[in-house]
Amino acid sequence: MGSPTVAALFAQRVIIGVGDMAVSNNPQVILSTYALGSCIGVVAYDPVSKVGGILHLMLPDSSISAEKAAKQPAMFADTGLPMLFKAMGGMKAERSRVRIFVAGGAGMLSGHDPFKIGERNVATTFDFLVKNGLCVRHRDTGGSINRTIHLDIGAGSVNMKTPVATQQFSLTS
């Protein structure tokens, strides 16, 4: 493994909880969200401005609770996704350069799932991204496993861990 780099010694981890989001342009920051089941993690990164963000959305549609959506807009795809891209734009990210990774949307209930939250989350997320001309570079959705994702702002790299594997890829090219 070797010795840690100086940058790694001073890295700052920001944890994004369920129904929350964070954006950063600090190259020392690593954004992380844990245990994405039926929830969706949207990772967005602009490699020119080195601005990145993670949204951990829980449900597809805020119309089920306008009050909850007003208090916690990141909980829902239809309110959280616009908020993510607006926050990144405020840090000089440009939509035309943003690269996206989407993870989660698993079916976490064994047997028949009448609500299909994972599937609905995936569909709503991709509908928004397509309608807004945003290109998804990588995706790992569906199935029945949970996923944990980390975005290294300085490197523009994503590390995803599942119970069976770890994957790493770049959002810089």
Residues annotated as catalytic (active site), given as ranges: 39
**Phi-psi group of 131: left, alpha or beta (phi > 0 → left; psi -120 to 50 → alpha; rest → beta):** alpha
Measured CA to CA, the distance from residue 70 to residue 90 in angstroms comes to 20
117 exposed, middle or buried (CB, 10 Å; 0-12, 13-18, 19+)?
A: buried
> Token pair for residue 151?
């975005």
Measured CA to CA, the distance from residue 35 to residue 147 in angstroms comes to 5
Are the C-beta atoms of residues 132 and 95 closer than 8 Å to each other? yes
119 exposed, middle or buried (CB, 10 Å; 0-12, 13-18, 19+)?
A: middle
- Using the 8-state DSSP alphabet, how is residue 70 labeled? H
